[in-house]
Structure 1
Protein backbone atom coordinates (compact mmCIF):
# COMPACT_ATOMS: atom_id res chain seq x y z
CA UNK A 1 0.00 0.00 0.00
CA UNK A 2 1.18 3.49 -0.81
CA UNK A 3 1.80 5.26 2.49
CA UNK A 4 1.41 8.69 0.88
CA UNK A 5 -2.40 8.21 0.88
CA UNK A 6 -3.85 7.64 4.34
CA UNK A 7 -7.47 6.93 5.23
CA UNK A 8 -8.44 7.83 8.80
CA UNK A 9 -11.15 5.69 10.38
CA UNK A 10 -13.80 8.37 9.81
CA UNK A 11 -16.91 8.14 7.69
CA UNK A 12 -20.34 9.74 7.58
CA UNK A 13 -23.59 8.92 5.84
CA UNK A 14 -25.06 11.79 3.79
CA UNK A 15 -28.74 10.88 3.66
CA UNK A 16 -29.61 13.76 1.31
CA UNK A 17 -27.07 12.69 -1.33
CA UNK A 18 -27.30 8.96 -0.52
CA UNK A 19 -23.52 8.55 -0.20
CA UNK A 20 -20.84 7.73 2.35
CA UNK A 21 -18.31 10.54 2.77
CA UNK A 22 -14.85 9.90 4.19
CA UNK A 23 -11.46 11.67 4.13
CA UNK A 24 -8.17 10.75 2.55
CA UNK A 25 -4.98 12.47 3.61
CA UNK A 26 -2.33 13.13 0.98
CA UNK A 27 0.82 15.02 1.95
CA UNK A 28 -1.05 16.75 4.77
CA UNK A 29 -4.04 17.74 2.64
CA UNK A 30 -7.52 16.32 3.23
CA UNK A 31 -9.43 15.08 0.20
CA UNK A 32 -13.13 14.35 0.49
CA UNK A 33 -14.04 10.93 -0.89
CA UNK A 34 -17.60 9.90 -1.70
CA UNK A 35 -19.07 6.52 -2.59
CA UNK A 36 -22.70 6.32 -3.72
CA UNK A 37 -25.25 4.01 -2.15
CA UNK A 38 -25.79 2.08 -5.43
CA UNK A 39 -22.03 1.45 -5.75
CA UNK A 40 -21.72 0.37 -2.11
CA UNK A 41 -24.75 -1.89 -2.48
CA UNK A 42 -23.18 -3.50 -5.54
CA UNK A 43 -19.86 -4.05 -3.70
CA UNK A 44 -21.57 -5.43 -0.61
CA UNK A 45 -23.94 -7.65 -2.58
CA UNK A 46 -27.04 -6.95 -0.51
CA UNK A 47 -29.68 -4.23 -0.38
CA UNK A 48 -28.84 -1.63 2.28
CA UNK A 49 -31.35 0.38 4.27
CA UNK A 50 -30.61 2.91 6.97
CA UNK A 51 -27.46 4.61 8.18
CA UNK A 52 -26.32 1.84 10.53
CA UNK A 53 -26.56 -0.82 7.82
CA UNK A 54 -24.86 1.39 5.22
CA UNK A 55 -21.93 2.25 7.49
CA UNK A 56 -21.55 -1.41 8.52
CA UNK A 57 -21.38 -2.39 4.83
CA UNK A 58 -18.80 0.34 4.27
CA UNK A 59 -16.64 -1.18 7.02
CA UNK A 60 -16.92 -4.65 5.48
CA UNK A 61 -15.85 -3.30 2.06
CA UNK A 62 -13.39 -0.69 3.39
CA UNK A 63 -10.22 -2.31 2.04
CA UNK A 64 -11.55 -2.52 -1.53
CA UNK A 65 -13.00 0.99 -1.33
CA UNK A 66 -9.76 2.52 -0.04
CA UNK A 67 -7.75 0.65 -2.67
CA UNK A 68 -9.95 2.03 -5.46
CA UNK A 69 -9.87 5.58 -4.08
CA UNK A 70 -6.10 5.42 -3.71
CA UNK A 71 -5.89 4.70 -7.45
CA UNK A 72 -8.25 7.59 -8.26
CA UNK A 73 -6.17 9.98 -6.14
CA UNK A 74 -2.88 8.82 -7.64
CA UNK A 75 -4.36 9.33 -11.12
CA UNK A 76 -5.58 12.79 -10.00
CA UNK A 77 -9.20 12.01 -10.90
CA UNK A 78 -10.56 14.91 -8.85
CA UNK A 79 -14.05 16.42 -9.08
CA UNK A 80 -14.66 20.11 -9.62
CA UNK A 81 -14.63 20.60 -5.84
CA UNK A 82 -11.30 18.78 -5.40
CA UNK A 83 -12.85 15.60 -4.03
CA UNK A 84 -13.07 12.10 -5.48
CA UNK A 85 -16.29 10.19 -6.19
CA UNK A 86 -17.24 6.62 -7.05
CA UNK A 87 -20.82 6.60 -8.27
Structure 2
Protein backbone atom coordinates (compact mmCIF):
# COMPACT_ATOMS: atom_id res chain seq x y z
CA UNK A 1 0.00 0.00 0.00
CA UNK A 2 1.32 3.39 -1.00
CA UNK A 3 1.56 5.57 2.10
CA UNK A 4 1.62 8.70 -0.06
CA UNK A 5 -2.07 8.13 -0.79
CA UNK A 6 -4.40 8.44 2.18
CA UNK A 7 -8.10 7.67 2.37
CA UNK A 8 -10.35 9.42 4.85
CA UNK A 9 -13.02 7.40 6.60
CA UNK A 10 -15.68 9.36 4.73
CA UNK A 11 -18.15 8.40 2.07
CA UNK A 12 -21.22 10.06 0.62
CA UNK A 13 -24.01 8.78 -1.58
CA UNK A 14 -24.78 10.89 -4.67
CA UNK A 15 -28.28 9.97 -5.82
CA UNK A 16 -28.01 11.93 -9.08
CA UNK A 17 -24.79 10.19 -10.08
CA UNK A 18 -25.88 6.87 -8.54
CA UNK A 19 -22.45 6.45 -6.99
CA UNK A 20 -20.61 6.67 -3.69
CA UNK A 21 -17.85 9.25 -3.36
CA UNK A 22 -14.88 8.50 -1.13
CA UNK A 23 -12.02 11.01 -0.96
CA UNK A 24 -8.32 10.30 -1.20
CA UNK A 25 -5.41 12.62 -0.57
CA UNK A 26 -2.08 12.56 -2.36
CA UNK A 27 0.63 15.17 -1.73
CA UNK A 28 -1.96 17.46 -0.20
CA UNK A 29 -4.32 17.23 -3.18
CA UNK A 30 -7.87 16.01 -2.62
CA UNK A 31 -8.95 13.38 -5.14
CA UNK A 32 -12.59 12.43 -5.40
CA UNK A 33 -13.00 8.70 -5.99
CA UNK A 34 -16.28 7.15 -7.09
CA UNK A 35 -17.80 3.68 -7.14
CA UNK A 36 -21.05 3.09 -8.98
CA UNK A 37 -24.20 1.64 -7.49
CA UNK A 38 -24.11 -0.99 -10.25
CA UNK A 39 -20.67 -2.20 -9.09
CA UNK A 40 -21.80 -2.37 -5.45
CA UNK A 41 -24.97 -4.25 -6.39
CA UNK A 42 -22.97 -6.67 -8.53
CA UNK A 43 -20.63 -7.41 -5.63
CA UNK A 44 -23.52 -7.72 -3.16
CA UNK A 45 -25.41 -9.99 -5.54
CA UNK A 46 -28.69 -8.13 -5.07
CA UNK A 47 -30.29 -4.70 -5.47
CA UNK A 48 -29.50 -2.15 -2.77
CA UNK A 49 -32.77 -0.43 -1.92
CA UNK A 50 -31.73 2.65 0.04
CA UNK A 51 -28.81 4.83 1.09
CA UNK A 52 -28.19 2.84 4.29
CA UNK A 53 -27.89 -0.43 2.33
CA UNK A 54 -25.64 1.22 -0.25
CA UNK A 55 -23.27 2.63 2.38
CA UNK A 56 -23.24 -0.70 4.23
CA UNK A 57 -22.21 -2.45 1.01
CA UNK A 58 -19.57 0.22 0.43
CA UNK A 59 -18.16 -0.40 3.92
CA UNK A 60 -18.00 -4.13 3.21
CA UNK A 61 -15.88 -3.59 0.08
CA UNK A 62 -14.00 -0.47 1.25
CA UNK A 63 -10.57 -2.13 1.48
CA UNK A 64 -10.79 -3.52 -2.06
CA UNK A 65 -12.13 -0.23 -3.42
CA UNK A 66 -9.31 1.74 -1.80
CA UNK A 67 -6.73 -0.63 -3.31
CA UNK A 68 -8.30 -0.27 -6.77
CA UNK A 69 -8.50 3.51 -6.43
CA UNK A 70 -4.89 3.65 -5.25
CA UNK A 71 -3.76 1.73 -8.34
CA UNK A 72 -5.74 4.04 -10.62
CA UNK A 73 -4.27 7.12 -8.91
CA UNK A 74 -0.74 5.74 -9.33
CA UNK A 75 -1.51 5.09 -13.02
CA UNK A 76 -2.89 8.65 -13.28
CA UNK A 77 -6.14 7.21 -14.69
CA UNK A 78 -8.19 10.32 -13.94
CA UNK A 79 -11.40 11.10 -15.78
CA UNK A 80 -11.95 14.41 -17.61
CA UNK A 81 -12.81 16.19 -14.35
CA UNK A 82 -9.77 14.89 -12.46
CA UNK A 83 -11.61 12.21 -10.52
CA UNK A 84 -11.09 8.46 -10.17
CA UNK A 85 -13.88 6.08 -11.16
CA UNK A 86 -13.70 2.59 -9.70
CA UNK A 87 -16.15 0.06 -11.08
| Structure 1 residue 59: Cα displacement | 0.4
| Structure 1 residue 45: Cα displacement | 2.7
Distance in 1 between the 2:57 and 2:18 partners?
14
Q: Specify the alignment match of 2:22 in structure 1.
A: 22
Query: Once the two structures are superposed, what CA deviation does each residue of 1:22-80 show, in whole Å capped at 9, x if it has no partner?
Result: 10000110001011000111223332111000001100110000010000000000011
Q: Specify the alignment match of 2:51 in structure 1.
A: 51
Structure 1 spans left out of the alignment, 5+ residues: none
TM-score (structure 2 length as normaliser): 0.94
Aligned pairs (5 A) from 1:4-15: 4-15=4-15
Compute the RMSD of aligned alpha carbons: 1.0
Structure 2 spans left out of the alignment, 5+ residues: none
